[in-house]
Amino acid sequence: MIQIKNLHKAFNDLVVLNGINIDIEDGRSTVILGKSGQGKSVLLKLITRLLYPDSGNIYIDGEDLGLLTGKYLDSCRLKFGMLFQSAALFDSLNVFDNIGIGLKAHNLFSESEINSITSESLDRVGLSEVGEKFPAQLSGGMRKRVGLARVFAMKPQYILYDEPTTGLDPVTSAQIAKMIKEMQEDLKVTSVIVTHDIPTGFFLADQIVLLDQGNFSFSGSVKDMRNSPLDSVQEFISGYKEEADLKYR
C-alpha cells in the first residue's frame, strides 16, 4: 500500500500540493484526474523520490520513504515501474535493448533469461516484429507500447502512469488504455494513473480522485464522480458525454 500523509510541495511561491492525503490500496487502480499544471506529475515524482516534499510523509508498504537511503531506497524503487509521458526511450538503443536495459542494470538475470523476458514483453504488447527498430522509426502509439513492455519486463509491484494517452489519437488511446487494464488484471499490480483524459480515467479507475488547487477536492468511485454535485467536479467533467466511454472486451 502507498500512504500519503499531509504532503506539501511548492516551487518558490507556487504551491503545487497543499497537504494532500490518500491511501492507494494494493491491487487496485487509482486514477488522479486534474487539469494541466495541477501537480499530478509532481506527485508521481515524489512517490518515486525523484523529488523531495517540503513536508509530509509517503509510506511504501509501511516504510517511510523519507527515511530510506542507499540500498534500502534502491530496494524500494525496484518495486516501481513507470510509463513516462514521452515513453522515455533511449534513441541510441533499438527496441529490444530498450526493454532489456532495466534487467541488465540490476544484474538479476542471465543473458538468455533477459532475451526471453524481453521477447515475452514485446509479444504482450503486440510488437514482436519491431525489436530491431529504433524509437525514431516508431509511431507515438508504438513508443508507448514499447514503454509498457519495458515496465512489464520488470514485473513491478506498483506501476505509475504519467499521462499515458497524451498526444495519441482516440483509437490509439483506447488501445493503450485496454493494454493498461489487461496488465492491471493479469499481474494484480497496484496502479496509479495521472491523466486529464476523462474517458481513459473513467475506464481504468477503481478509485478516482480530482486534484484541484493543491488538494483532492473529490475522492470516490467513477459513479460517484459522475453524480457529484461539487462545482470543481462538474466544471472538470462539463461537456463529457457517456458515449465517449471506452468499452473493454
What was the pLDDT predicted at 27? 92
R_g (Cα) of the chain, nearest Å: 18
57-77 residue pLDDT tens: 999 999 999 999 998 998 999
- The H or E element spanning position 4 is strand 2-11
- Taking a C-beta distance cutoff of 8 angstroms, is the pair 40, 32 a contact? yes
> Rounded CA gap, 114 and 100, in Å?
6
The answer, yes or no, to whether residue 9 has pLDDT greater than 60, is yes
23-61 residue pLDDT tens: 999 999 999 998 888 899 999 999 999 999 999 999 999
The answer, yes or no, to whether residue 248 has pLDDT greater than 70, is no
- Taking a C-beta distance cutoff of 8 angstroms, is the pair 8, 54 a contact? yes
- Taking a C-beta distance cutoff of 8 angstroms, is the pair 44, 192 a contact? yes
Residue at 128 is within a domain: yes
CA distances from 224 to 21, 34, 113, 116, 208 (A): 19, 16, 45, 44, 9
Q: Hey, which of 105-114, 165-174, 207-216 has the most confident mean pLDDT?
A: 207-216
> Rounded CA gap, 209 and 89, in Å?
29
Here the cell at position 232 is: 470543481
Residue at 63 is within a domain: no
The answer, yes or no, to whether residue 210 has pLDDT greater than 80, is yes
What was the pLDDT predicted at 244? 64
Residue at 85 is within a domain: no
Return mean pLDDT, the chain: 91
The whole model's pTM is what?
0.90
Residue at 160 is within a domain: no
What was the pLDDT predicted at 245? 73
Residue at 141 is within a domain: yes
Q: How many domains does the chain divide into?
A: 1
Q: Which of 156-170, 205-219, 226-240 has the lowest mean pLDDT?
A: 226-240
Region 134-154: mean pLDDT is 92
- pLDDT > 90 fraction of the chain, expressed in percent and rounded: 70
Which ranges of 62-163 does DSSP label H, i.e. alpha helix?
Answer: 70-77, 95-105, 111-124, 140-153
- The H or E element spanning position 2 is strand 2-11
Task: Give residue 108's domain range.
Answer: 91-149
Q: How confident is the model at residue 209 (pLDDT cuts 50, 70, 90)?
A: very high
What was the pLDDT predicted at 249? 45
Residue at 106 is within a domain: yes
Residue at 107 is within a domain: yes
Residues in CB range of 104: below 8 A, 6 or more apart: 114
Q: Locate cell 516551487: which residue?
A: 11
DSSP string, 185-222: HHHT-EEEEEES-HHHHHHH-SEEEEEETTEEEEEE-H
- pLDDT > 70 fraction of the chain, expressed in percent and rounded: 97
